[in-house]
């Protein structure tokens, strides 16, 4: 069964469902510049060349490094290329993430993301985490203000439950949700179903299955070989098959892996084959 290859983000930004996640084009621990600056630039340019038109980043990647590299490689942006960024996780060192949802901080970070990305409007701004110390309605107030001013087009969330999405929708039109999700990690199943029901984009981070499921001789590896594919391709194809609102954003620093991942759009399995894989993954 063939899959729907595009999705209208927010109802008006039509993008290819397989995007690119730009977290890995930074240094170790998502901290500082990449070891290979020119290689990161080449990967970003190649992504757009092969048809990727949805790129996801965050102010905390580096911090700031990923946004700056995207602008260096791609600005001014080709028509139809959608750049999504996030704010709300403060960085104090390698692999250290601190949720900060204070309205004045988020407003400043959104405005600085605009500057770094070299855009007049952020296509999609996402709250990277809900801060337990700040009601999500308060966190989103300045973002809605920026949206009304034309500086942000669409608003999304990350790592949330259906109840938290409902709470946020009291003050903002939420068009996307970004949670950890793959064929072997489905703790966000209820959120996927909520997004599917409400036509909200679901952007799975860590989209490629790992561990026992993906090891050599495991269910994914066996099925992948039967279809002359890789485990990564099969993981991404499952997500694309799972729901038409799912937008996987695999990240890589390799042009070879980038091109390999993009071919997942053309990988087709029968419904019974997908069901067998899902059963093996439980």
216 part of a folded domain: no
106 part of a folded domain: yes
270 part of a folded domain: no
pLDDT of residue 3: 87
Q: Which domain holds residue 53?
A: 6-209+246-253
3-state secondary structure the chain: CCCCCEEEECCCEEEECCCEECCCCCCCCCECCCCCHHHHHHHHHHHHHCCCCEEECCCCCECCHHHHHHHHHHCCCCCCCEEEEEECEEEEECCEEEECCCHHHHHHHHHHHHHHHCCCCEEEEEECCCCCCCCHHHHHHHHHHHHHCCCEEEEEEECCCHHHHHHHCCCCCEEEEEEECECCECCCHHHHHHHHHHCCEEEEECCCCCHHHCCCCCHHHHHHHHCCCCHHHHHHHHHHHHCCCECCCCCCCCHHHHHHHHHHHHCCCCHHHHHHHHHHHC
Tell me the average pLDDT across 198-211: 91
Q: Is the pLDDT of residue 268 over 90?
A: no
117 part of a folded domain: yes
Average pLDDT, the chain: 95
Bridge partner list, 183 = none
**Catalytic entry in 61, 64, 181, 194:** 61
215 part of a folded domain: no
Quote the number of domains for the chain: 1
pLDDT of residue 279: 83
pLDDT of residue 190: 98
CATH number for the domain harbouring residue 65: 3.20.20.100
236 part of a folded domain: no
- Give this prediction's pTM: 0.97
pLDDT tens-digit readout, 23-69: 999 999 999 999 999 999 999 999 999 999 999 999 999 999 999 99
Local confidence band at 139 (pLDDT 50, 70, 90 cut-offs): very high
How many of the other CB atoms lie within 10 Å of CB of 29? 11
61 is catalytic: yes
């Amino acid at each position: 069964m063939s899959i729907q290859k595009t999705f209208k983000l927010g109802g008006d930004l039509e993008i290819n469902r397989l995007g690119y996640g730009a977290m890995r084009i930074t240094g170790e621990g998502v901290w500082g510049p990449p070891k290979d600056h020119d290689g990161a630039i080449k990967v970003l340019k190649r992504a757009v060349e092969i048809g990727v038109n949805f790129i996801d980043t965050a102010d905390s990647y580096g911090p700031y490094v990923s946004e700056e590299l995207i602008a260096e490689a791609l600005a001014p942006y080709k028509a139809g290329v959608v750049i999504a960024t996030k704010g709300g996780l403060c960085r104090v060192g390698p692999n250290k993430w601190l949720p900060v949802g204070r309205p004045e901080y988020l407003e400043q970070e959104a405005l600085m993301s605009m500057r770094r990305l070299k855009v007049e409007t952020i296509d999609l701004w996402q709250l990277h985490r809900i801060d337990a110390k700040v009601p999500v309605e308060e966190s989103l107030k300045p973002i809605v203000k920026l949206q009304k001013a034309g500086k942000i087009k669409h608003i999304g969330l990350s790592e949330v439950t259906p109840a938290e999405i409902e709470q946020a929708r009291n003050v903002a039109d939420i068009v996307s949700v970004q949670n950890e999700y793959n064929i072997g990690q489905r703790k966000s199943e209820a959120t996927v179903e909520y997004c599917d029901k409400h036509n909200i984009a679901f952007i799975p981070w860590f989209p490629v299955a790992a561990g026992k499921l993906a090891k050599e001789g495991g269910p994914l590896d066996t099925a992948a070989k039967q279809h002359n594919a890789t485990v990564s391709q099969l993981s991404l194809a499952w997500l694309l098959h799972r729901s038409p609102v799912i937008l996987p954003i695999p990240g890589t620093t390799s042009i070879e892996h980038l091109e390999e991942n993009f071919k997942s759009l053309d990988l087709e399995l029968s419904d019974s084959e997908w069901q067998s894989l899902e059963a093996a993954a439980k």
